[in-house]
Structure 1
């Protein structure tokens, strides 16, 4: 469990057919940044706005940290993310298919730690993925799930 501070981001939010369609959305965001001379960092993450896990029609927002807020154009939005004081985090090693098991493990953890409950959209940070690692067995994904304490 850790706290996550707010950050300035350039983002695009869209409902995509499946999680596997996220790669095309990342290409759109990268292309927009390049065309508009936006300096982006390697600090990127996805926010999943659905209240529960879905196989199809996934509401996702892709975010990349930026040094300054620019002008919103079409689906591309600059904003400051909200800080998350209590974020449960876990690292997932290997292929993207391993992510589902990590969410199941988190659900079990949450049942055992009943002083917490989920509050808000989950995030994923791909530290190592297809753009910087050739071997899917070496991928590294961080799952972040916002929590609040029951009083």
Structure 2
């Protein structure tokens, strides 16, 4: 067996951390001298130590690592924990990518003098349609995406019910919110199906005189289309009369476990197309 210092050098883990793992019960020494209190480690502790290191690098807390190392934890349970952490890391990466995209868009906007010139606003009527909807106070934009996935999964249980039309979100808050967003997601239907536990089936009302503008690119830069719409409404003497809709003409959808109509799917955020629809009337 090896003294703690020798085991530290060969395992590439500091003595301080080895003592810390011992105190937490994560990695007990093979033997402790009752007189000197020296810790001794054997090579058969390396697999357990390597699992601890791997789980720490994945971002697990020491408490979670302790649970993962319990003898009654199956390989399937450990694999489930790893997959959950994988999804969490992907979500964090996506959030950082969105921050970067917003920063780049702000820089381009400040450098550019064209502003809203790349957006054309038109006024048209929007027809009514049947849709499966889900409304809640969503904690953030990621939750809204999850709401869409839940509705799509529900609709997929009814063969042929999904219409080949783009889904959309209706925002009900009287002001912009980044959290606790009162939003309703809608998935178009060919025909009415039964209500689900959280999913409501209803005919979405049409809109007479909707100001519409199309944004191309990542959702992180869609605020530019909102700015263009605001400027157009003000300069043309209109006012808003209802909730704004975001219609996803081209959008991304991965790993849902079922197929969506391919007409409106895009492989890359650069290919996303989003239309804003806002009810208006002359002042």
Is contact 2:154-2:196 (8 Å) kept?
Answer: no
- Mean CA deviation greater in 92-101 or 72-81: 72-81
Of 116, 130, 145, the residue aligned with 2:252 is: 130
Please give the alpha-carbon distance, in whole angstroms, between the structure 2 residues aligned to 1:38 and 1:128.
Answer: 21
In structure 2, the partner of 1:16 is 138
In structure 1, the partner of 2:272 is 139
Please give the alpha-carbon distance, in whole angstroms, between the structure 2 residues aligned to 1:55 and 1:109.
Answer: 24
Query: Is the counterpart of residue 106 in structure 1 residue 239 in structure 2?
Result: no
In structure 2, the partner of 1:63 is 186
**Shift of residue 38, structure 1, vs aligned partner:** 6.2
Aligned length: 149
Q: 1:31-110, aligned counterparts within 5 Å?
A: 31-37=153-159, 39-43=161-165, 44-110=167-233
Is contact 2:210-2:280 (8 Å) kept?
Answer: yes
**Shift of residue 125, structure 1, vs aligned partner:** 1.1
- Greater relative contact order structure (CA < 8 Å, 6+ sep): 1
Unmatched runs of 5 consecutive residues or more in structure 2:
1-122, 254-264
* RMSD across aligned positions (CA): 1.6
In structure 1, the partner of 2:72 is none
Is contact 1:5-1:84 (8 Å) kept?
Answer: yes
- Mean CA deviation greater in 52-61 or 33-42: 33-42
Is contact 1:17-1:57 (8 Å) kept?
Answer: yes
Please give the alpha-carbon distance, in whole angstroms, between the structure 2 residues aligned to 1:89 and 1:140.
Answer: 13
Please give the alpha-carbon distance, in whole angstroms, between the structure 2 residues aligned to 1:121 and 1:74.
Answer: 25
Please give the alpha-carbon distance, in whole angstroms, between the structure 2 residues aligned to 1:28 and 1:100.
Answer: 26
Is contact 2:193-2:201 (8 Å) kept?
Answer: yes
- Mean CA deviation greater in 78-87 or 32-41: 32-41
List 4+ stretches of structure 1 deviating above 6 A: none
Please give the alpha-carbon distance, in whole angstroms, between the structure 2 residues aligned to 1:122 and 1:137.
Answer: 23
More helix by share: 2
Unmatched runs of 5 consecutive residues or more in structure 1:
none
- CA, structure 1 residues 73+133, in 2 after alignment: closer, same or farther (shift >3 Å)? closer
Q: Secondary structure at the match of 1:41?
A: coil
- CA, structure 1 residues 95+84, in 2 after alignment: closer, same or farther (shift >3 Å)? same
More strand by share: 1
Query: Is the counterpart of residue 25 in structure 1 residue 147 in structure 2?
Result: yes
**Shift of residue 27, structure 1, vs aligned partner:** 1.0
**Shift of residue 72, structure 1, vs aligned partner:** 2.0
